[in-house]
Amino acid sequence: MIIRSILRPAFTGTVALTTGLAGLLTLLPASVSTPTATAATTTSTLAAGSRADPGREVSRPADPSLLYRPGTHVRAAAGAPAPPKDVSALSWVVADARTGAVLAARDAHRALPPASTLKTLFAVTVLPRIPSDARHSVTEADLAGIGDGSSLVGVAPGQTYDVADLWRGVFLSSGNDAVRVLAGMNGGWDSTITQMQAKARELGAKDTHVVSPDGYDEPGQVSSAYDLAVFGRAGLALPAFAEHCATVEAQFPGRDGSTFGIQNTNKLLTGAGGVERYRGLIGVKNGYTTNAGNTLVAAARRGDRTLLATVMNPQSGASQAVYEEARTLLDWGFAAAPAVTPVGSLEPPRPPTPPRRAAEEEKQGPVARAGRATGPGTDSVRPAAGARATAAEAGAGAGAGHLAAVTRSGPADEPSAPFGYIVPIAFIGAACLAALALFLVRRGARRRREPADPRGMRPLP
């Protein structure tokens, strides 16, 4: 009875200790111990009143396969403006250029002909490869192979051009002749195609198949709204790209030392053709062919937020529909950004860990691997600060603010590495404490139960 009376409260205390620790674990936020569940429907609504801290932009994991599903995808808080329903484009994307967060999309990975918006990939690939101070004397061979009906800036054989003039011919006049010359300077047409394809894969753009670097209609040449947004974002990180795509007008060299004026064909930037300029627009590139229809990658900056909108082949038949639908999507993005959670990311996938490094991290244990996973090197690409926007920029509108949720660099559905280890470590610690307490209680009970030797104070044999 004496032993039972001693052990019972001790055992009860041990159980209470273990139960208490387990109860504390249940109070941990679900986002700490387990990944957040992804949206199961095409359009999901966050809990009423849920808002992100505007000073700290953190994303909720999104199913990376979501953007491959048909339909319109957005995850908006209650009361947030819904994506416009009058956008007739076959596919479109609205994304944050700074973070890469995709705010909303429709059929983002649908393979469609890109027309001259493919020149964004051409520029991202070739601009860094040709010295900015290079000059080139054009030959007839440089201009061979230009497709019938191509848009031209007016490159003439026998003329010598600064490479910057040729790039202005690409961005402003969408000149396929300028593309041909630059591709020749880059090692040739076929080599440039190979480089562009490799660059697309490097950026995580898997829908794009390059056949003609200038975007001229060719069988099998396709891209997607998602990929074009990736190219536009990568381009804005290059100062020369950002400057050229924001230029409204320039002088282009003519014969005998003369020059002639060229104007950007992006009407959302210039305000030509009855299209009102978009406030804060900084480029990027428009395109048109009979097969592709009208396509556009547009970027605009308001305050500290830069958004990208990609529009591919509007079906409404309205005049200037590609520009007006891009305007509608950008307006929605600036108004809704504080109240939406990303449905994807433009960030490229992380490269696989080399086998030797993986083995070293395995030896170091989970805590070391977790610390390495959250270390430096995860910053998103920012648009070039030197981009010259010709449309007047003003502060963010009433609905604009910090993005409620921004994707981390890396897979969108990957939970932070340390969180997965909290629960098992805590339970192991609780079990160790319980075992130690039970050992001490039993030891004390055994000493009380056995009589002691009065001479040596040792238990009798």
Catalytic positions, written as ranges: 116, 119, 174
Residues 6+ apart with CB under 8 A from 18: 430, 431, 433, 434
Tell me the one-letter amino acid at 325. Answer: E
Cα within 13 Å of Cα(456), Cβ side: 4
For the chain, what is the radius of gyration of the CA atoms? 31
CA dist., res. 77 & res. 89, Å (int): 25
User: Helix, strand, or coil here: 330?
Assistant: helix
CA-wise closest residue to 93 among 57, 115, 119, 66: 66
Q: Is the dihedral of CA 215, 216, 220, 222 positive or negative?
A: positive
CA-wise closest residue to 172 among 246, 121, 276: 246
CA dist., res. 424 & res. 34, Å (int): 12
User: Helix, strand, or coil here: 453?
Assistant: coil
CA dist., res. 248 & res. 245, Å (int): 8
Instruction: State residue 349 phi and psi, 5-degree precision.
Output: -65, 150
Cα within 13 Å of Cα(352), Cβ side: 4
Tell me the one-letter amino acid at 318. Answer: A
Q: How far is CA 221 from CA 164, 178, 201, 218, 264, in A?
A: 27, 20, 15, 6, 25
**Which two tokens mark 271?**
């305000």
Chain centroid offset of residue 33 CA: 25
